[in-house]
Amino acid sequence: MTPLIAADRLTKWYGPRLALDGVSFEVMPGEVMGLLGPNGSGKSTILRILTGYLRPSAGTARLAGLDVVDDSLECRRRVGYVPEDAPLYEWMTVQELLGFMARVKGLAAGTTREAVARAMDRLALGPVAPMLIGKLSRGYRQRVAIAQALLNDPDLLVLDEPTNGLDPRQIIEMRELIRSVAGDHTVLVTSHILGEIEKVADRVAVLLGGRLLAVHALRASGDGQRLRLRVRGVADGVQACLERVPGVQRVTVAPEFRTDLATYLVEADEIPVAEALAAALVGGGFGLLEMGTAPTDLERLFLELTHEQAAA
């Protein structure tokens, strides 16, 4: 299957500060991908590059095969974006804002009214339709922001810290909403709270200091297994070697800084692959330093990865 998002060595400098350091990842259609990391780890920068707000200093990102810089307008037509803190025009009513955003997103005049009604219905915004956005509660504002993002029925829905500032009931509603749009839309969601990501995402990318530490599957299909390997050797060669092993579905690489070592997360189907992986690596002349079952607990993985990064 062709990935909907393919980010390749994305790098972003803000003046002298390196905010994003060669981040590569892929997101499959219909998947909910979480970006997890503390504040300043580069999550929002990735979202802003994918939505066309920022240009990468180096590297490329493709959305449905289109380059987000060269085909920016076409990419923006396929994205619905809810920035952090849901910025909206406070002097507009809910109805006016949704109508304005529908027209700006290029919806035909005849379909605008229908699209606005559908989005308001989905987010239960009917009671506040004539109200000024500046008078709405935080929860309603967030719903309006999501409604405008869904107006153009986007391939990709991007949510930056969607549960920030919400009360517990609203957080649960937000989780349900994200899971309900998965499948119809690919969702990219950020959070600095482990529990939030764990509850909504199929896979999670862990970021720290602008670097991607690992991509971790949270909702693997069937009774698959996840193995974590630490291997010495050229990353591309090791990855290709691992992918050739029968039963392996996906291999994710997290290179270690300034060494030829890398950690590989291997997702495989139910056939035991550990012996075959070891044999393939040894046969390929690579140095297998560690192999074990990848932790399923996200918090443990996060602490482990951030600890390794700090040690490096």
Partner 1 sequence: MRNFGTLLLKEEKAIFSSPIAYAIVSVFLLLMGYTFTSFLFLNRRGDLVHIFFQAAMLFLLIVPVVTMRLLAEERRAGTLELLLTAPVREIEIVLAKFVASMTLLTVMLLLSVTYPVVLGIYGEPDWGPIYSGFLGLLLLGGALVSIGLVVSGLTSNQIVAAVIALGAGILLWVIDTLGHLLPDPWDTILTSLSIVAHFTPFATGALFLSDLGFFLTIVLAGLLLSVRSLARR
User: Measured from the CB of residue 159, what is the shortest distance to partner 1 in angstroms?
Assistant: 13
For helices 274-283 and 235-243, what crossing angle results, to 10°?
130
Which region among 70-78, 185-193, 200-208, 239-247 touches partner 1 (by CB under 8 A)?
Answer: 70-78
User: Measured from the CB of residue 282, what is the shortest distance to partner 1 in angstroms?
Assistant: 49
User: Measured from the CB of residue 88, what is the shortest distance to partner 1 in angstroms?
Assistant: 7
Residue 74: exposure state from Cβ atoms within 10 A (0-12, 13-18, ≥19): middle
- CB-CB contact of 73 with 184 (8 Å): no
Map the footprint of partner 1 across residues 122-151, applying CB under 8 A.
148
For partner 1, the closer CB: 88 or 254 = 88
User: Measured from the CB of residue 55, what is the shortest distance to partner 1 in angstroms?
Assistant: 7
What is the sign of the dihedral through the CA atoms of 102, 181, 177 and 87?
Answer: negative
Question: Applying CB under 8 A, which of residues 89, 221, 287, 297 lies at the interface with partner 1?
Answer: 89
Question: Applying CB under 8 A, which of residues 41, 45, 51, 191 lies at the interface with partner 1?
Answer: 51
What count of Cα atoms within 13 Å lies in the side-chain half-sphere of residue 118? 11
Phi, psi of 24 (to 5 degrees): -125, 135
For partner 1, the closer CB: 87 or 183 = 87
Q: How far apart are CA 196 and CA 259, in angstroms?
A: 33
Question: Applying CB under 8 A, which of residues 27, 33, 46, 48 lies at the interface with partner 1?
Answer: 48
Question: Applying CB under 8 A, which of residues 36, 88, 150, 227 lies at the interface with partner 1?
Answer: 88
Q: Which residue has the tokens 């800084």?
A: 257
Question: Applying CB under 8 A, which of residues 60, 66, 77, 256 lies at the interface with partner 1?
Answer: 77
Which region among 18-26, 32-40, 96-104, 281-289 touches partner 1 (by CB under 8 A)?
Answer: 96-104
Closest CA to 44 of 138, 157, 159: 159
Question: Applying CB under 8 A, which of residues 9, 103, 118, 122 lies at the interface with partner 1?
Answer: 103
What strand order describes the sheet that includes 287-293?
A: 248-255, 261-268, 225-232, 287-293
Give the gyration radius of the chain's Cα atoms. Answer: 21
Question: Applying CB under 8 A, which of residues 3, 53, 256, 308 lies at the interface with partner 1?
Answer: 53
- Residues near partner 1 (CB under 8 A) are 48, 51-55, 73-74, 76-77, 79, 81, 83, 85, 87-92, 100-101, 103-106, 148
